[in-house]
Structure 1
Amino acid sequence: MTLFLWNKPKHRPCGRCVLVALCATGLLNSDAPRPDWLRVVFLGRGTAAEDRAFTSYVNALQRTQPNTWARVRVDFANISDVPEEQQPQRIAAIARTRPAALLAPNGNVAKLATRHAPGTPLVFSTYINPVEAGIVSGMERRHESATGIWVTEQLDGKRLEVLRDAYPKVRRVAVLIDRSWNHSVNSLAPAEKAAAALGLEAQVLLADSKDEAQTLLDLPASRDFDAWVVPRSYVAVLALPMIVNRLRMWHKPLIVSSVGEVRSGAPLSYGVDTTFIWPTLAELTARVLGGEAASAIPVQRPQRFLLAVRTGAETGLQPPSMSVMRRADIVIR
């Protein structure tokens, strides 16, 4: 089992220092842990250095929950280095180490955690309905020791509409997601239906890792698409900077799912206002570690949708149409 342990030093490192240590050693630091620290295990993919969700969570916990941060240790556990059929045993083994809580950054991992680590408090984020998926039995109260965030995310039709309006010459569009996301939301049928109504042709492409996404983009056929859609499946967390750079080189439009990704260089985004996700996960963690029953904390939901546009020459594109510029909630010039 690949488990990276964060044993806190006397002086707390910043998020950037944490990443440097991870990249160099695979450990956040080597000091012995204090026995009174509470341990949270983040159920991630790959390594802590490449899993941007882990970094976002740690930074939010440090920034927004200083009292909890003073007594917590966050460990990173890679559950993606075994076949899917072995992941339940991996999570059960992690639970047997008796962490104070588990953090599941996506719905499929959360579902495994509630089933195979039932005695361990769980904080989760999911883009699939947590009740329908069997993560929890209720949104307000439930018998599972779990709470989290449900981000309703079935917006690919709207993204295709924004993409067409921003760049009217677009016809063939690639929708890049990972397999678990495709299995959960069945992206192909909705994307094809929405595309046909807009006069577009959409093709769903699947990749589960940065390497797999890069291999896909290296295929000559990938350059034939007029534009790309990258929703917030986990492959976006792992590979989006590489995807943005490649499409910029090709001068191909791209629409993603969050304002933060536009601030980092993507040209367009439409999606739920996700700025609340990591601070809310940090708050829920603090409440659970503070003694509240996870089963009694309501599952949180966002209410706001944002359209963001980047217009600078660094996108490698002409600015989007004025109609989209006027509709944008955020314009980065």
Structure 2
Amino acid sequence: MRPFPSVAAPWGRAAILSLILSLAAAAGAVAAPPPDRRLALTVDDLPWVPLPEVPTAEVLPGHRRLVAAVARAGVPVVGFVNEGKLEDRGRIDPERLQMLRDWRDAGAELGNHSYGHSDLHAVGLAAYQADILRGERQLKALTDEKSQPAPRWFRHPYLRAGRSVEDKAALQAFLAEHGYRIAPVTVDNADWIWAGAYLRLDQRGDARLKARLRRDYLRYMGAKLDYYERQSIALLGYNLPQVWLIHANLLNADAYGELIAMARKRGYRFVGLDEALRDRAYQRADAYLGPAGPSWLHRWAIGERKPPTFFAGEPETPDWVLNLAGVESE
């Protein structure tokens, strides 16, 4: 038998070992799984953001498009209700109450967002707690209609959750006593600014610029998903199941299906809020005591005293949209 040629010449052992390690590393990189991309979708300010300041008839076409899109998409969603929006001159408007039934019948779970979208930092804890209880009367009646469990999720208006450790603890105990769990937000954004600009274009009848705004909005929201995925990996070492916030407005009525498709194209799988919050990261304390309402990822990062550079690179609303909306900044 012809002897097998020696692999040591012309290669040295060190070079061969280096090649083997490089090939193994490359194989590992190829085989590495993608980040866990689960996403819980939540919609705030039901039944419709501009209520109660505008006539019900004015918002019904957009509302119907949005709930139809929710039903078509078939992904889990929790909608957070401001019961004050149901009233017209101090009385429940039957059409507005029906709007909540439409959400429920489209498959959405309804949560409490307080009666009057109260700002905890402005009204104080006692008034805030009273507004939460005032904001569950119609919700409980709606769940009773279908023999469903009572509302179980609460979302802070403005995502302002308290300026002291004592207030946060007292609010947590109050919510638990009344059967609520806080619904955090990790993928925060300024969709309300884009929606304000979109509404102005709709009122002008500017279809061309509306189409441009929707395209740019989808890119902006996609960039937000990418940013908070990177933030999660940088802070936690993995991408936690994210919680995404949007609002019940005309822009999302026209873009809802595209938002779902955009997230799926990025590899996201939609899950219920309860599944998302089973992740261990959500057991972390919310250490933020400032005046704003940032993402929970940033609250945890602030609690770990991350430097300002950690928060850099968050996508921003472009000036042309800010100007259309009449807003100076996010």
Asked if these proteins are the same fold (TM beyond 0.5), I'd say no
- Rg (Cα) greater in structure: 2
Q: Does 1 or 2 have the higher relative contact order (CA < 8 Å, sep 6+)? A: 2
The structure in which a higher percent of residues are helix is 2
The bucket for the TM-score relative to the shorter chain is: under 0.3
Structure 1 length-normalised TM = 0.25
The structure in which a higher percent of residues are strand is 1
Structure 2 length-normalised TM = 0.25
